Amino acid sequence: MTASYEVRGDVAVITLENPPVNGLGFDTRCGIVEGLQRAVGDAAIRAIVLIGSGKGFSGGADIREFNTPKALQEPSLHTVIRDIESSPKPVTAAIHGLAMGGGLELALGCHYRVASAGAQIALPEVKLGILPGAGGTQRLPRVIGLQRALDMIVHGAPVRSEKLSDTRLFDRLIDGDLLDGAITFAREIADARPLPQVGALQMNEPESAQVIQAARDRVQAQATYYPALSRCIDAVEAAVRLPFQEGLAFEREQFLYLVQTIESKALRHAFFAERSASKIPGIGPEVALRPIRSAAVIGAGTMGAGIAMNFANAGIPVCMLETEQAALDKGVATIRRNYENTLKKGRLTQEQLDKRMALISTTLDYAALGQADIVIEAVYEEISVKEKVFKQLDQVMKPGSILASNTSTLDLDRIASFTSRPHDVIGTHFFSPANVMKLLEVVRGKATAPDVLATVMSLAKTISKTGVVSGVCDGFIGNRMIEQYVRQAFFLLEEGCLPAQLDGAIERFGFAMGPFRMSDLAGNDIGWQIRKRRRTEHPDMIYSLVGDKLCERGRFGQKTSAGWYDYRAGDRTAHASDEVNQMILEHAAALGLQRRQISDEEIVERLMYALVNEGAKILEEGIALRASDIDLVYLTGYGFPLYRGGPMFYASSVGLDTVLEAIKGYASGPNAHAWQIAPMLEQLAKEGKSFH
Ligand code: 3HC
């Protein structure tokens, strides 16, 4: 049983004991009901306190039970709440740490609520693509008012308990020991009758129509992709419009609808993917982490400066090294400008800016970095340049210092071999802009020590990144897959598409940017360099020459005001380019290709399935630890639509047999050579299984 029962004189205490967050799974629900029955049946008990053990009251319903029979197995959360509400003895919820989702709904079903200051109070269900399904949309507006309840339910963000002390949510804020305070409170109200019920409170909201309309207007743009947004508002509106019991029934209907939507399944998948990524088989809590109290970055270009900002933001002193003072000055100026922009937007104070700038130092001398706990190399992507840097680092860095490379494609094991301590070498592949993008691919070389890997994964959290472990291969997880996606995009240009049509299809699918707009932003010359190298290393890999032709015209993207699209000075808007479109037509004609009309569906399938097929190979080779890691890479680093859950989840939701059939079709069409079907995909499809 994951709820315990104890008697303190005339008060019964039911304690939720389901670590880590007292999720309200079946066992815990049974424990609450049993405790309640014991307390009601014991004539010596006058009042009941419901409290959480560990870090909080409750994180809500057990999400792992969703879409399983256990979720509905009685006693359901509704039954538990109904039993509490109808208890003849007063039940007081005592809240500390957190009360979220079903946890807050459970507390709202109690007759009274007391709380410690600093508790995180939230109905975050919307972030999982659902709505509060155990009365939250009906009860919360009754105690904190329509506007505040809408804000909490539609955005899902936590509010600290003391900020709600002016509402009817809490009957008392307790200083000192929460349980003692709650028992004292419970004794004070033990004989008061009738017992208060939140559901009996009247909603008095004369401005409700305007408030609700304003909420609808705010979510309109997103609501097509995230159906929970408008249904949250519908349910809160029902609290105003309908009697309490009917409102509850309406909320239930919406919950049952949302919980089976693919969007909700995708969001829940992303929630667990994020938490699984930090679990590395064979590396447990017994592995001691190396302390990271100082950092160094080699290179003060856009990437190096962005990486340095992450350390300064986390309060870790960081020193940047360059070969020339002018480059250092430029890097520092970039950082200052970035912070000043954040300050202008009101997201940073002058004091914070000064503090962060003070944590950043510069040097031209390798010896000055020697004592740093971690050094990250962010220099030009060329193995001979990396060799020079790592040989120098090997000379100057203290024993135990972590030597990291920000390489995005090069062989980390080769880089490690330039040092006498390959076990201290690791890849930290940041994504541009490095101070903004969440993803950090943590590349584990064949010699990387477990404590180095564990330390860098923990560091990822410290600097607010999502760390995902990748093995060593060309491009690691993200770029190795994107290469296949871009190859398909180029072939589609030859076969009949133009950049705007292709980008449009991918953006309507949900990507933040299609491949051509993205490439114009990142710089078309980067891909060009990579293709040149790949053609020598892998002569069997065929690439369309259309991207090279673009670069030969000096159309490197936004930085040259010309790429796949035309750009006007000071404006990032992409305008279709007659010159480029003509170039594509001429290129196709020179190849003797008969261009054809290509549907959005084909564009999406070819690009997505190219990702999936390569992802399956990456999984099979053990480069990624799990399919959800691949999804996380794409959700946090490549603008993959969150509501589709990442490429591998998307493929599983389409059905791997359907994906395989489509790939087989493309593998017998033009550019068939680009499709070598992943054996794992074939195997799973044959067995009717998915990646997850
Ligand atoms: N159900 C099942 N497991 C949960 C959970 C939940 N509601 N909330 C957290 N967990 C698990 C996590 O998966 C993780 O498991 P792991 O150790 O095996 O990886 C563990 O608890 C710790 O979670 P975090 O790493 O996220 O811990 P933090 O301290 O950083 O954060 C938290 C705690 C703020 C509670 C965060 O976990 C969170 O946001 N949880 C989700 C809360 C939520 O959405 N609640 C609503 C659930 S839906 C609901 O209640 C429906 C109802 O309306 C009917």
CATH number of the CATH domain containing 381:
3.40.50.720
SS3 of residue 461 by DSSP: helix
Same domain, 432 and 349: yes
| Residue 100 beta carbon below 6 angstroms from any ligand 1 atom | yes
Residue 285 lies in a domain: no
CA distance 139 to 109: 8
Task: Find residue 159's DSSP bridge partners.
Answer: 121
Same domain, 66 and 92: yes
Using 50, 70 and 90 to split pLDDT, how confident is the model at 536? confident
Same domain, 188 and 329: no
Which alpha helices (H) appear in 345-475, and where do they start and end? 350-358, 383-396, 412-417, 450-462
CA-proximal residue: ligand 1, atom 28 (nearest): 21
Residue 389, judged by CB atoms within 10 A of its CB (0-12, 13-18, 19+), counts as buried
80 or 409, greater pLDDT:
80
Given a contact cutoff of 8 angstroms between Cβ atoms, the answer to whether 167 and 148 are in contact is: yes
CA distance 149 to 158: 12
Residue 279 lies in a domain: no
- pLDDT over threshold 90, residue 66: no
Same domain, 464 and 389: yes
**Quick one: pLDDT at residue 58?**
98
CA-proximal residue: ligand 1, atom 53 (nearest): 132
Given a contact cutoff of 8 angstroms between Cβ atoms, the answer to whether 455 and 448 are in contact is: no
Residue 56 CA, closest ligand 1 atom number: 35
pLDDT digits (tens, 9 = 90+) for 470-496: 999 999 999 999 999 999 999 999 999
Structure tokens at 257: 């609808």
| Residue 105 beta carbon below 6 angstroms from any ligand 1 atom | yes
Using 50, 70 and 90 to split pLDDT, how confident is the model at 99? very high
Same domain, 427 and 333: yes
How much distance in Å is there from the Cα of 59 to the middle of ligand 1? 6
Helix (H) / strand (E) element for 172: namely strand 172-174
CA distance 179 to 21: 18
CA-proximal residue: ligand 1, atom 1 (nearest): 62
Helix (H) / strand (E) element for 614: namely helix 600-620
Same domain, 69 and 130: yes
Same domain, 463 and 496: no
How much distance in Å is there from the Cα of 54 to the middle of ligand 1? 14
| Residue 104 beta carbon below 6 angstroms from any ligand 1 atom | no
CA distance 503 to 195: 60
The fraction of the chain above a pLDDT of 70, given in percent, is: 100
> What is the overall mean pLDDT for the chain?
96
Average pLDDT (343-369) is: 97
| Cα–Cα distances in angstroms (integers) from residue 413 to residues 45, 447, 467, 588, in the given order | 68, 8, 20, 40
- pLDDT over threshold 80, residue 56: yes
Residue 482's nearest CA partner among 540, 429, 560 is 429
pLDDT digits (tens, 9 = 90+) for 294-317: 999 999 999 999 999 999 999 999
CATH number at residue 671: 1.10.1040.50
**Quick one: pLDDT at residue 533?**
83
**Quick one: pLDDT at residue 661?**
97
Structure tokens at 90: 């007063």
CA-proximal residue: ligand 1, atom 14 (nearest): 275
Average pLDDT (590-608) is: 96
CA distance 405 to 394: 13
The lowest-confidence range among 29-33, 290-294, 530-534 is: 530-534
Same domain, 655 and 639: yes
Given a contact cutoff of 8 angstroms between Cβ atoms, the answer to whether 146 and 107 are in contact is: no
pLDDT digits (tens, 9 = 90+) for 641-667: 999 999 999 999 999 999 999 999 999
CA distance 143 to 201: 8
| Residue 52 beta carbon below 6 angstroms from any ligand 1 atom | no
- pLDDT over threshold 90, residue 190: yes
Domain endpoint, select from 470, 495, 518: 470
Given a contact cutoff of 8 angstroms between Cβ atoms, the answer to whether 533 and 521 are in contact is: no
SS3 of residue 430 by DSSP: strand
pLDDT digits (tens, 9 = 90+) for 202-219: 998 989 999 999 999 999
216 or 672, greater pLDDT:
216
CA distance 139 to 145: 10
Same domain, 319 and 366: yes
Q: Which of 18, 63, 123, 264 to mutate to test the pocket of ligand 1 (most atoms within 8 A of CB)?
A: 63
CA distance 205 to 211: 9
How much distance in Å is there from the Cα of 655 to the middle of ligand 1? 28
Residue 277 lies in a domain: no
Residue 658 lies in a domain: yes
Strand intervals (E) in 444-527: 466-470
Residue 24 lies in a domain: yes
- pLDDT over threshold 90, residue 117: yes
Helix (H) / strand (E) element for 339: namely helix 325-344
| Residue 59 beta carbon below 6 angstroms from any ligand 1 atom | yes
Same domain, 342 and 440: yes
Average pLDDT (5-13) is: 98
- In Å, the largest CA–CA distance within the chain is 93
Given a contact cutoff of 8 angstroms between Cβ atoms, the answer to whether 48 and 186 are in contact is: yes
Range of the domain at 154: 3-258
**Quick one: pLDDT at residue 472?**
97
Domain endpoint, select from 210, 240, 258: 258
pLDDT digits (tens, 9 = 90+) for 439-458: 999 999 999 999 999 999 99
Given 85, 125, 251, 441, the catalytic residue? 125
Residue 572 lies in a domain: no
**Quick one: pLDDT at residue 537?**
83
| Residue 314 beta carbon below 6 angstroms from any ligand 1 atom | no
**Quick one: pLDDT at residue 432?**
87
Given 85, 105, 251, 614, the catalytic residue? 105
| Total domains present in the chain | 3
| Residue 77 beta carbon below 6 angstroms from any ligand 1 atom | yes
| Residue 584 beta carbon below 6 angstroms from any ligand 1 atom | no
How much distance in Å is there from the Cα of 574 to the middle of ligand 1? 41
| Residue 119 beta carbon below 6 angstroms from any ligand 1 atom | no
SS3 of residue 565 by DSSP: strand
Residue 552 lies in a domain: no
Using 50, 70 and 90 to split pLDDT, how confident is the model at 578? very high
Using 50, 70 and 90 to split pLDDT, how confident is the model at 637? very high
CA-proximal residue: ligand 1, atom 52 (nearest): 102
Q: Is 105 a catalytic residue?
A: yes
Average pLDDT (81-86) is: 97
pLDDT digits (tens, 9 = 90+) for 216-265: 999 999 999 999 999 999 999 999 999 999 999 999 999 999 999 999 99
Domain endpoint, select from 448, 470, 492: 470
Given a contact cutoff of 8 angstroms between Cβ atoms, the answer to whether 362 and 284 are in contact is: no
Same domain, 513 and 405: no
Same domain, 486 and 454: no
CATH number at residue 247: 3.90.226.10
**Quick one: pLDDT at residue 67?**
78
Global pTM?
A: 0.94
Q: What is the DSSP string of 211-235?
A: HHHHHHHHHHHHHTT-THHHHHHHH
Using 50, 70 and 90 to split pLDDT, how confident is the model at 570? confident
Using 50, 70 and 90 to split pLDDT, how confident is the model at 16? very high
Which alpha helices (H) appear in 73-145, and where do they start and end? 77-85, 102-109, 136-144
**Quick one: pLDDT at residue 602?**
97
Residue 576 lies in a domain: no
Give me the amino acid identity at 493: L
Nearest 5 degrees, angle CA 217-CA 221-CA 226?
Answer: 105
Residue 634's nearest CA partner among 427, 439, 430, 469 is 439
| Residue 199 beta carbon below 6 angstroms from any ligand 1 atom | no
**Quick one: pLDDT at residue 541?**
80
Residue 283's nearest CA partner among 175, 442, 496 is 442
